[in-house]
């Protein structure tokens, strides 16, 4: 990473590269954080730098208040990205809530005539124009815990641990609030190609809901499924990264 750039708390670069030919910005899902992408660098060529987004209220930003408002999230996050996206070409990968945030960030960049990603990779999230039919952000704690269980990716021992759940559930609730209170406003499709991914057993998004992303690009659109559930790449990201690399 060039010495001119002061890292922002919004962006974690686990393996900095001095002059990358491409930066891959990774937007994490609800109740997760930047560490989900900690090992991605080892599966990528040495010229691609992984920049993981870190929302407040978790991991390295645990003492900061959680965000539940788009009006605060978007301008602040976009501002943090600016020095990095103006330096080198870049692509976005977002999973679940992360896919939605990355989509809104791209629109904000385009409205402000700033660089936009060479590629958009979206995963595990219905297309933005499809409303969420059963909001959960106000659901009871037991309902949220059973939702986490359905999504997979959270060990049963963690789900059964009351202290850990008291810690995690407010984060999950805040992230669900952002995801479910989202209002879609139609805009012209993007020039960036879009590639959409899901696990074949994902209970959160159907193939049909995923294919709705196609209307958001005037460029190429591709759709890939992988074995597994909502968090299909969590334990073994290699197959997903290989699929992303085919495009990059």
Per DSSP, 37 falls in state G
Q: What are the beta bridge partners of residue 12?
A: 52
Sort strands 120-123 and 194-199 into parallel, antiparallel or unpaired: parallel
Answer yes or no: 146 catalytic.
Answer: no
CB 212 within 8 A of CB 127: yes
Who contacts 137 (Cβ-Cβ below 8 Å, separation ≥6)?
A: 173, 176, 177, 179, 180, 181
Residue labelled with tokens 């999950």: 172
Q: Which of 25, 26, 39, 34 is nearest to 83 (CA)?
A: 25
From the candidates 96, 102, 123, 192, which is the catalytic residue?
A: 96
User: CA 80 → CA 4, 15, 30, 83, 161, distances in Å?
Assistant: 14, 19, 20, 7, 35
CA torsion 74-77-83-88 (nearest 10°) is -80
Could you tell me the two tokens for 117? 């990603």
CA–CA separation, 61 and 36 (whole Å): 15
Residues that are catalytic: 96
């Amino acid at each position: 990473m060039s010495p001119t750039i002061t890292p922002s708390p919004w962006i974690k670069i686990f393996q900095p590269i001095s002059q990358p030919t491409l930066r891959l910005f990774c937007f994490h899902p609800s109740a997760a954080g930047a560490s989900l992408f900690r090992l991605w660098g080892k599966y990528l060529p040495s010229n691609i730098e992984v920049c993981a987004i870190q929302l407040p209220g978790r991991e390295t930003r645990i003492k900061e208040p959680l965000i539940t408002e788009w009006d605060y999230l978007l301008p602040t996050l976009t501002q943090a990205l600016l020095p990095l996206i103006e330096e080198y070409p870049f692509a976005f990968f977002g999973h679940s809530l992360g896919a939605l945030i990355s989509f809104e960030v791209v629109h904000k960049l385009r409205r402000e005539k700033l660089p936009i990603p060479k590629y958009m990779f979206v995963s595990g999230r219905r297309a933005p124009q499809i409303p969420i039919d059963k909001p959960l952000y106000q659901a009871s704690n037991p309902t949220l815990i059973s939702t986490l269980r359905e999504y997979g990716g959270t060990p049963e021992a963690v789900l059964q641990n009351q202290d850990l759940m008291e810690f995690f559930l407010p984060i999950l609730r805040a992230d669900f609030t952002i995801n479910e209170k989202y209002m879609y406003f139609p805009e012209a499709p993007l020039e960036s190609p879009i590639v959409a991914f899901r696990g074949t057993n994902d209970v959160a998004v159907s193939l049909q809901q995923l294919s709705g992303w196609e209307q958001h690009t005037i460029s190429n659109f591709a759709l890939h499924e992988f074995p597994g559930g909502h968090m299909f790449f969590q334990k073994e990201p290699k197959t997903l990264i290989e699929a992303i690399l085919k495009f990059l």
